[in-house]
Structure 1
Amino acid sequence: MPASDDPAALLPAAFTVAQARAVGVERGRLRGLAYTTPFHSVRVRGAVEANSLTASCLAFVPRLTDGQFFSHETALVQHGVPMPEWPYRPAVHVSAYRPAREPRTRGIIGHRLQLREPAFAVIGALPIENPVRAWRQVGRLWSFADLVAAADFLISGDRPLAAVEDLRAEIATMGDVRSGILARSLRAVRFGVRSPRETRLRLLLGDAGFPEPAVGWNLFDDRGEFVAELDLAFPRYRVAIEYDGRVHAEDAAQFARDADRWAAIRDMGWDHRRVLSHHMGSGGRAAVAIVRDALTRAGWTPGR
C-alpha cells in the first residue's frame, strides 16, 4: 500500500488504538509485527527502547488525559537528578491533582494528589512535575542518602534547579513523611557537591565519627593564587579527600591534568587521598579506613 494511502501514516510514533481506528486503520493491522504494545490500548511503531524510562514515558503520552503528568522519580530523571544506585530501577509514575484522576493500568504507578495548583511543565513533549515537588514525592520511596544526594544536586551547579528554602517550604506546605526523613535530609544537604557518590562518601564519613569536611574547598598558595578545588577538605588537618569514579583513565590528557593537580596539592603540604569506586563497596569500609589513616597521621583522635 502506498504511504499516501496508508491511514497509519497519519499517526504519531505512539498512538492509542482509538486514534488508529478513528483514521481508518483496521484492527487486525494493529496486531502485526510492525507495532509493539507497551501499555494497554497503546501501539508504538517498532520497539520501545529497553531500559529507557524516557522511551516508556513517550510511549505512554497518548494515554495521558487532562491534568495528568509524570511525577516522583520519573520526573526527577527528566530533570537530570541522580537515581538510587543499581539494582534500583525507577518506575513510571503518573499523577493528577484532585479532582482529576490518575491512570490505572499495568506498568504505571498512578497517584491522585491533594487538591493543589499544578506546577508541571512540558519538557521534551513530556509533562513533568516541578523538581521541588517531585523531590518531596520520593520521600516515601528513597533512602536517606538518596534523598540527600538528590537535594545536593538540585541546589548545586551553575544553574541550580532549587534552593534549600524551596525544599523547606515544600515540606512546610505539604508535610513531611516517614518520621521526618525529608527535614533530616535537608540538614545534611551541602552546596557544591559534584556527584551522588561524593554525597554518599560525605555521609559515610559523618557516620564514622569524623569531623565534617568542607565541600568544594578552594586551596590557595602563599601568594593567594588558586591551586585546586578540593572535593572534601579537612583544613585543620590539611587532608584532602577526592572521590574518583573512573574505572580507568580513558582520557589521557585529563588524567595528566589531574595528576599535576594532585602533585600541586601535595606540594602545599596537604595529604591528598583518592577514594575509588571499589572502596565504596561492603559498606564503604575501605573508604573509611583511607580517611581514618589520613586524619590519624595528621593528628586527629576519635572524639575530638
Structure 2
Amino acid sequence: MARPPLPVELAAGPFTVARARAAGLRACDLRGRGLHRPTHAVRVLAEPFTVGDRAAAWSAGLPADAVFSHRTAAVLLGLPLPAPLESDPVLDVMRPSDRTPTRRRGCRGHRGLETRRVVLVDGLRVTSPEDTWCDLGDLVGHGLDVDDLVVVADAVLARSGRDAIGTLRATLDARVRPRGASALAQALGLARPGVRSPRESRARLMFVRAGFPEPEVNAVVTDRAGGWLLEGDLVWREQRVVGEYQGAVHASRRRRSADAHRSGLARDEGWTLLELWSEDLDAGPRRRTTLLRFARALGLDPRVLHLG
C-alpha cells in the first residue's frame, strides 16, 4: 500500500514527530521516505547543510526558551569569524540559568540567557549582536584572538551606528567575570565605527600594531576649496596620505577606471594614494615592503616601527 503524501504543512520545512502524529501520520508513515533527522524527534525532507538550515531544523525541536548563541549566533547575524569557526557543524544553544542546558549530539549547551537580549534573524531567536560579541570571549585562545574580536566589533558598529560602541561597552561592563575579559576590553579599545569589511579592519590594525599613527576610517577627502574628491579607506589627513584597500568589488575594468580617475584628481591636490591588497596584510616580506612604502609616504622613521 502506498504511503499517504506528507501534509503540505509538514513538507514545507522541518517538523517534529509530535506534529506529524497530530497531523494523522504514524511512525511507519515516516519511515522509508528519505527523511533526514537533524536532531532527536525532528524530520526534514532536504538535508540541512548551512548553519542557517541546521539552526532552522534544530529550532523545531528545541525548548521555547532556547536561543542560538556564540559562534552560531555570529554566523546567523552575519558577523565575520575565522573560516574554521564559521564552518563548525556544532550549534551553540543557550537557555536561562535556572534551566537545564541543552544536551544533544551536535550542540553545545550554554546558560545565562536571562542576561542577554534576544533578536530575531529569519525567524530564529538569537542573542543580540552586542551579547554575541561578548560571548565570543569564551573562544579566545580557541580559534579567536584580539584582532578577531576587533573585526567582529567593527562589524557590529558598522550595522548599528556610532552609538553602538557605548552599547558594546555597557554590555561588557554588565557581565560578571566574563571569559576573555582582557581580550574583549583590548578589542573594544581598538574597535572603530565606519569600517566596511573585515580586511579593512585588519589593514587598520596592521598599521596600528606596527606603530603608525592611527588613520581615519572611510573618511572624506576634499580639495583645497573644500570640494569632495573621494572617500578614503584609511586616511592620514595631516600627511595627506590615503590607503585604498582593493577588494573584489574593485575588480571590474569600469571600477578600476573610476578609481584611477579619482586618484589622479586627488594627486593633483597634493594627496598621495597607495593601494593595499589582501596579500599585503599577511605576515611575510610583502607586508614588510608595504609598511616601508607607507612609512616613506608618511615621513616615518622605519627604525622606530615594528615591521616584522
Please, what TM-score do these two structures have when normalized by structure 2?
0.86
* Pair 1:106-2:105 in alignment: yes
Correspondences of 1:159-238 after superposition (within 5 Å): 159-160=160-161, 163-175=164-176, 176-178=178-180, 180-238=182-240
TM-superposed deviation, 1:118:
5.1
1-structure distance, mates of 2:99, 2:23 = 28
Task: Report the counterpart of residue 70 of structure 2 in structure 1.
Answer: 72
1-structure distance, mates of 2:285, 2:85 = 20
Structure 1 unaligned spans of 5+:
none
TM-superposed deviation, 1:45:
1.1
1-structure distance, mates of 2:135, 2:208 = 26
2-structure distance, mates of 1:293, 1:117 = 48
* Pair 1:274-2:272 in alignment: no
Contact 2:162/2:193, CA 8 A, preserved across alignment: no
Aligned partner of residue 169 in structure 2, secondary structure: helix
Contact 2:234/2:244, CA 8 A, preserved across alignment: yes
Cα 1:38/1:121, change in 2 over 3 Å? same
Aligned partner of residue 220 in structure 2, secondary structure: strand
Amino acid at match of 2:215: P
Farther-moved stretch of structure 1 (213-222 vs 30-39):
30-39
Cα 1:153/1:118, change in 2 over 3 Å? closer
TM-superposed deviation, 1:21:
2.9
Alignment length (residue pairs)? 297
2-structure distance, mates of 1:23, 1:286 = 63
Amino acid at match of 1:111: H
TM-superposed deviation, 1:130:
1.4
Farther-moved stretch of structure 1 (63-72 vs 170-179):
170-179
Cα 1:186/1:272, change in 2 over 3 Å? same
Cα 1:286/1:132, change in 2 over 3 Å? same
Q: Give the alignment partner of residue 125 of structure 1, picking from 117, 123, 126.
A: 123
Task: Report the counterpart of residue 32 of structure 1 in structure 2.
Answer: 32
Task: Report the counterpart of residue 17 of structure 2 in structure 1.
Answer: 17
TM-superposed deviation, 1:66:
2.1
TM-superposed deviation, 1:194:
1.2
Amino acid at match of 1:77: V
2-structure distance, mates of 1:285, 1:96 = 48
Q: How many percent of aligned residue pairs carry the same amino acid?
A: 32
Amino acid at match of 1:266: R
Task: Report the counterpart of residue 153 of structure 2 in structure 1.
Answer: 151
2-structure distance, mates of 1:28, 1:44 = 16
Amino acid at match of 2:208: G
Cα 1:87/1:285, change in 2 over 3 Å? farther
Q: Give the alignment partner of residue 61 of structure 1, picking from 59, 62, 74.
A: 59
Cα 1:87/1:256, change in 2 over 3 Å? farther
2-structure distance, mates of 1:64, 1:39 = 9
Task: Report the counterpart of residue 295 of structure 1 in structure 2.
Answer: 295
Residue deviations 1:20-50 (CA, integer Å, cap 9, x gap):
23333232343324311222322101222x3
Residue deviations 1:42-62 (CA, integer Å, cap 9, x gap):
2101222x3x11111111111
Amino acid at match of 1:258: D
Cα 1:295/1:247, change in 2 over 3 Å? same
Q: C-alpha root-mean-square deviation of aligned residues, in Å?
A: 2.6
2-structure distance, mates of 1:295, 1:161 = 30
Contact 2:71/2:85, CA 8 A, preserved across alignment: no
Aligned partner of residue 36 in structure 1, secondary structure: coil
1-structure distance, mates of 2:102, 2:31 = 24
Please, what TM-score do these two structures have when normalized by structure 1?
0.87
Contact 1:232/1:240, CA 8 A, preserved across alignment: yes
Aligned partner of residue 215 in structure 1, secondary structure: strand
Cα 1:162/1:107, change in 2 over 3 Å? farther
Aligned partner of residue 217 in structure 2, secondary structure: strand
Task: Report the counterpart of residue 97 of structure 1 in structure 2.
Answer: 96
Task: Report the counterpart of residue 47 of structure 1 in structure 2.
Answer: 47
TM-superposed deviation, 1:105:
0.9
